[in-house]
């Protein structure tokens, strides 16, 4: 229950890694109800996790995952995945089996500590997405979503550059709990205010102030984490 370490030793994780997956765009890293046997690190590329309901084609985008994200921790609770994980582009995934992990854990406190840090980060991320969803208006959700994604991109070296959104418009809509047409319109509106640049897949934040105002008009509260 120690203070959150924001830094994770990726070199250590990579050294532990005993397996590498190469995924094509649209490929599945794992499927719902698969048994979870390892922790996975996104070495390059990006994925979405999706949970689906029985008996229909209805599904929900649970989250998007980018380089340096750990993926598959949703199995922490019961050792089976609760989502499908699908590559948004060609991606490379490194895996550390739980076996290896516990083997090393017994002689390296650093490994134990890292696992705790990973769990904590996983939870913090869940918390963040929950707060994004809690915004009432579609534009607010979108603004919160963009701040979140840009801030995560920044943490892997894309410091407020123009980035490429690999997911479809529809994926974003689904994630935010609105319809595709609403995203289209909110996008148009946000671009017009000058808050963002968003043409096709290309995206950039131009004016953070405006975005924050849209999220919470009456305050100056700032959702940016380590931008």
Among 28, 29, 32, 27, which Cα is nearest to 80's?
32
Q: Which is nearer to a copy of itself, 6 or 20 (CB)?
A: 6
Q: Given the rule CB under 8 A, which of 49-57, 145-153, 154-162, 190-198 is the region that contacts a copy of itself?
A: 49-57
C-alpha–C-alpha distance, residues 206 and 127, integer Å:
26
Answer yes or no whether residue 144 interacts with a copy of itself by CB under 8 A: no
Answer yes or no whether residue 60 interacts with DNA by CB under 7 A: no
CA distances (Å), origin 36, targets 1, 47, 76: 25, 17, 8
Answer yes or no whether residue 50 interacts with DNA by CB under 7 A: no
In a 3-state reduction of DSSP, which class is residue 111? helix
Contact code string over 132-171 relative to DNA, x by CB under 7 A = ----xxxx----------------------------xxx-
Choose the contact partner of 137 out of DNA, a copy of itself, none; CB within 5 to 8 A by kind: DNA
CB of 131 to a copy of itself, least distance (A): 8
Residue 79 in contact with residue 30, Cβ under 8 Å?
no
CB of 225 to a copy of itself, least distance (A): 12
Answer yes or no whether residue 84 interacts with DNA by CB under 7 A: no
C-alpha–C-alpha distance, residues 192 and 97, integer Å:
48
Q: Given the rule CB under 8 A, which of 25-33, 120-128, 143-151, 158-166 is the region that contacts a copy of itself?
A: 120-128
Contacts of 77 (CB under 8 A, 6+ apart): none
CA distances (Å), origin 44, targets 3, 62, 65, 94: 29, 20, 10, 9
Answer yes or no whether residue 24 interacts with DNA by CB under 7 A: no
């Amino acid at each position: 229950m120690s203070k959150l370490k924001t830094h994770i030793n990726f070199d250590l994780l990579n050294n532990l890694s005993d397996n590498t997956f190469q995924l094509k765009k649209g490929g599945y890293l794992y499927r719902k109800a698969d048994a979870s046997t390892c922790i996975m690190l996104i070495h390059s590329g990006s994925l979405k996790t999706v949970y689906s309901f029985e008996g229909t084609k209805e599904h929900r985008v649970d989250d998007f995952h980018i380089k340096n994200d750990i993926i598959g921790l949703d199995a922490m609770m019961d050792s089976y995945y609760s989502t499908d994980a699908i590559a948004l582009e060609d991606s490379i995934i490194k895996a550390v089996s739980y076996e290896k992990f516990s083997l090393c854990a017994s002689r390296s406190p650093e490994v134990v500590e890292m696992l705790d840090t990973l769990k904590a980060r996983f939870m913090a991320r869940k918390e963040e997405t929950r707060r994004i969803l809690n915004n009432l208006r579609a534009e607010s959700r979108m603004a919160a979503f963009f701040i979140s994604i840009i801030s995560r991109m920044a943490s892997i070296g894309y410091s407020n550059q123009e980035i490429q959104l690999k997911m479809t418009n529809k994926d974003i809509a689904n994630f935010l709990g609105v319809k595709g047409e609403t995203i289209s319109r909110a996008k148009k509106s946000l671009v017009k205010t000058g808050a963002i640049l968003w043409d096709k897949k290309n995206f950039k934040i131009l004016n953070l102030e405006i975005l924050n105002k849209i999220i919470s008009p009456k305050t100056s509260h700032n959702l940016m984490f380590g931008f």
